[in-house]
Structure 1
Amino acid sequence: MPWWQWLIDIAGILLLLVLGYGLALVIRRRALSRHGGTFELSYRVRSDRAGRGWVLGLGRYSGQTLEWFRVFSVAPGPRRIWARDTLSYDGRREALGAEQMSLYPDHVVIHCQTASGEIELAMSEASLTGFQSWLEARPPGTDWSR
């Protein structure tokens, strides 16, 4: 077989792999949003450099937890899980500098405290309203003084 036929075969295989990956992402996104309560949620995994370390993702409310999934991953499970009773909202700010290019348009950055320390999330204004309502809707017996 001539070399150019090998190149065409390799290009065809690569094209099928890329299409398969895209199809897997679409199926995963539909499966995650099947139960409702999903929204665009970015998470700052590294805060050592200003404006850097953001990863795009999806958030999903699942009972007493907030689950975070990476957008460009085909893994079925969440990458991070935060329990409602250990999560507290500290404030918000607008995206600054390089963050504006790293995040979805019109998302605001929020600061939260968890049992393991401070985290930063980014979401839309509407999602922030839902997030605050979800946090405030804690079950009876919750220590509200935190």
Structure 2
Amino acid sequence: MGEPLSSEALFLIVERLFLALLVVSLLALVAVVARRFLLERGGAVECYLRRAVGPHRAWRIGCGRYGSDELSWYRIFSLWPRPAAELPRRGLVVMGRRSPTPEDLAELTGDLVVIEVGWAEPDGSDPKEPVYELAMGEGALTGFLSWLESMPPGTIWQS
């Protein structure tokens, strides 16, 4: 068996390990900030998302990016390049609008508006229950509703 490490050698190992962890943490932070900058530069808006029903109903902060046929929602604190949720535009219905409840205010701020969304039934009728809830500011909500009601020129929806 080898000799025990001296306190100086042990201190040097711990110091280098700490510096390596610090560098990795800083690189991850820079990557998250750069990803958010690129998302917002591409026209994304900040909004919160949660499932309307189910066991995991915590609000998650993210950015919504409008596409021609879907809203792609990305988590803010993630390095994953793909959206965490995609809300297809076809058949998307806003089922309700409200202010945050006292329970919501534990995770949201009072200046946000919460909307419930779902998708139309196959027969064209309105959905019976919401699938997601989105929380966003008034300006972002106006943009969302405009996106939902408009359709890019030349777009042909497939049945």
Q: Give the TM-score band, short-chain normalised.
A: 0.7 to 0.9
Runs of 4+ in 1 over 6 A off after TM superposition: none
- Measure the CA separation in 1 of the matches of 2:72 and 2:29: 22
> Quick one: which of 87, 97, 107 aligns to 2:102?
97
- Measure the CA separation in 1 of the matches of 2:80 and 2:45: 18
TM-score (norm 2): 0.76
Give unmatched runs, 5+ long, in structure 2.
1-7, 122-129
> Quick one: which of 21, 32, 45 aligns to 1:25?
32
**1:8-60: CA deviations, max 9, x gaps?**
11211111111011110122112223332x1111111474469x411111001
Give unmatched runs, 5+ long, in structure 1.
none
Deviation at 1:109, TM superposition (A): 1.2
**1:80-123: CA deviations, max 9, x gaps?**
11121121111111112342232356222110112695211111
1:73–1:86 distance in 2 versus 1, CA, 3 Å: same
Pairwise CA RMSD: 2.6
2:112 corresponds in structure 1 to: 107
Q: Which amino acid aligns with 1:123?
A: M
1:126 corresponds in structure 2 to: 139
TM-score (norm 1): 0.82
- Measure the CA separation in 2 of the matches of 1:29 and 1:120: 22
Give % identity: 36
Aligned residue-pair number: 140
> Quick one: which of 68, 71, 74 aligns to 1:66?
71
